[in-house]
Amino acid sequence: MAKATAKAPAKKPVKASTSSKPKTQRSLSIEQTCADALLRFKELGIEQQLQSDLEWCLGSYRHDKNPSGLYEMAERILLVYKTEKEKKTKGIAAKMIVDVEKVLATR
């Protein structure tokens, strides 16, 4: 006698995500904006003092969640970005300037 095989239940189709934001867009946070700027400065090899200050402020923020220092750093980042953009430094995009301005506007 042959064994009767049970049928596997039919798989349900996967529903598309219902989030209103596209996956490519991310919400801007002061922490992420400053971390991105730190990476950019390291890649370009510019603003060593600002890099050190950013690393310290990011560590401080992660410890106490007080963003005041990061907002001060964001103002300095914005000045550097604009200066480097005027020099036509490769690696500084206009979008980066806009992102920092948006974060500063949420203060």
pTM, two decimals, is 0.70
The per-residue pLDDT for 97 is: 92
Q: DSSP characters for the chain?
A: -PPPPPPPPPPPPPPPP--SS-TT-----HHHHHHHHHHHHHHHT--HHHHHHHHHHHHHHHHH--THHHHHHHHHHHHHHHHHHHTT-TT--HHHHHHHHHHHHT-
Every domain of the chain and the residues it spans: 30-105
Residues in the chain: 107
Q: pLDDT for 4-46, tens place per residue? A: 666 666 666 655 555 444 333 445 789 999 999 999 999 999 8
Q: Binning pLDDT at 50, 70 and 90, where does residue 67 land?
A: very high
pLDDT band with cut points at 50, 70 and 90 for residue 105 = very high
How far apart are the C-alpha atoms of 45 and 22, rounded to whole Å? 33
